[in-house]
Amino acid sequence: MLTGIGLILIVGYIGGKLVSRLKLPPLIGMLLVGIVIGPYVLDLLESDLLMVSQDIRTFALIIILMRAGLGIKKDQIKQVGSIALRISSIPCILEGLTITGLAYYLLNFSFAEAGMLGFIIAAVSPAVVVPSMLDLKEKKYGEDKQIPTLLLAGTSIDDVFAITLFTFFLGLGTSGQYSSILFELAFIPFSIIAGVLGGAVIAIAAVYLFKRFDKKYVEKLLILIAVSILFVEWGEHVGIASLLGVMTLGFILFEKIPKHTEQFTKSLAGLWIFLQILLFALVGAEVNIEVARDAGIMGLLIIALGLIGRSAGVWIATLNTELNTKERIFCMIAYTPKATVQAAMGGIPLAMGAEQGATILALAVLSIAVTAPLGAAAIYASAPKLLNQG
């Protein structure tokens, strides 16, 4: 496994540097490297590494979301709070319902299987969007209206909606048990609130302890990361938005102990240098080119129409806000990449015995292969043209 990690770090670093010379984001090179050295092309990675790939990717997400929280101020949250709730729900639901309808009528899926496909693909990818928004924040793009902060907050909540509704359709399709859709939707605010409160409790406890113990900043950060990992693992088991809680944790620490968080941010920035290579390369390794190709033109059409539904949702969510037309178009572009949920959950319907499970997996893989690199490139290419800088 160590050989595989070393290979990913070296080749992924080179891939990122080569792509950056083409004025494209380095993560595209890392994604492409992952595809090439992954099990579906050159097969250079050990099976042991691929088995723990999900855990490594989750750890990388914890680090980048903590880093995101450490850079968000209270007035920024106040500025985007109500819009973030709308932009995290309306686009996801519209995209999911669009794909559900298309799969039902064009692919002859059952209603349950169409819903599984719809809400697997509907989830936007924190693995692509969050690092991109942090880069834009550092370069001061869209900071006048806190657009990167808006999308940072919205991305984490978006996945809560997608995963909850996917779980509803999965239960309906594989066990035949029909639970009330109203109950599933009512659980979403509970999941969000529980995640935020959990992160707040950890943050308050950390503030209390860190002010009283004269430990080195690195040791305090180590404790913080360890507790965050346990919180995310526990949160996944009980169904709360624990990744959102990690961002909340960083936000509260930034407000309460800014001297500490300045040091934490520097350390996390160093850690992210190699974690980003692992994250994007391992996401790329999940892409099965053969399966994606089998999805064909119809698969591309369904994904494209789903993104049109998502874009309409973003437009609706940003109505009557201070965002101008260019900024609203940027929000549409920023919400196109798929990767995290699709890689983690695309194979679940097949494993659970769904009749169309293989097709659902193929479309999930195709959505990653198409939208992750293109979406990331579009974010960086469009930001200077659509957002104010400074």
Q: What is the model's pLDDT at position 66?
A: 92
Task: Average the pLDDT over 176-188 and give the result.
Answer: 66
Q: Check: CB of residue 162 under 8 Å from CB of residue 123.
A: yes
> Which of 309, 372, 316, 371 shows the shortest CA–CA distance to 95?
309
Q: How many separate domains does the chain show?
A: 1
Per-residue confidence band for 302, with pLDDT thresholds at 50, 70 and 90: very high
What pLDDT digit, counting tens, does each position of 126-159 carry?
889 999 999 999 899 998 898 999 998 888 788 8
CATH of the domain at 119: 1.20.1530.20
- Does 382 map to a domain? yes
User: What residues make up the domain containing 297?
Assistant: 55-386
- Does 227 map to a domain? yes
- Does 24 map to a domain? no
Q: Check: CB of residue 199 under 8 Å from CB of residue 153.
A: no
Q: What is the model's pLDDT at position 176?
A: 57
Q: What is the model's pLDDT at position 177?
A: 57
Dist CA 268 CA 274 (whole Å): 11
- Does 92 map to a domain? yes
- The torsion region of residue 125 among left (phi > 0), alpha (psi -120 to 50) and beta comes to beta
User: Which residue type does 63 have?
Assistant: I
- Does 277 map to a domain? yes
Which residues are CB-neighbours of 222 under 8 A, at least 6 positions away? none
Q: pLDDT above 70 covers what percent of the chain? A: 97
What pLDDT digit, counting tens, does each position of 230-254 carry?
999 998 788 788 888 998 999 999 9
Q: What is the model's pLDDT at position 353?
A: 86
What pLDDT digit, counting tens, does each position of 53-69 carry?
889 988 998 998 898 88
**pTM to 2 decimal places:** 0.85
Dist CA 330 CA 344 (whole Å): 27
> Is the per-residue pLDDT at 203 higher than 90?
yes
Dist CA 334 CA 377 (whole Å): 10
Q: Check: CB of residue 335 under 8 Å from CB of residue 307.
A: no
Of 113-127, 291-305, 317-331, 371-385, the one with minimum mean pLDDT is 291-305
- Does 79 map to a domain? yes
Per-residue confidence band for 204, with pLDDT thresholds at 50, 70 and 90: very high
- Does 43 map to a domain? no
Tokens 């346990």 identify what position?
230
Higher pLDDT, 288 or 207: 207
For the chain, state the CA radius of gyration. 20
- Does 158 map to a domain? yes
Of 93-107, 208-222, 249-263, 292-306, the one with minimum mean pLDDT is 208-222
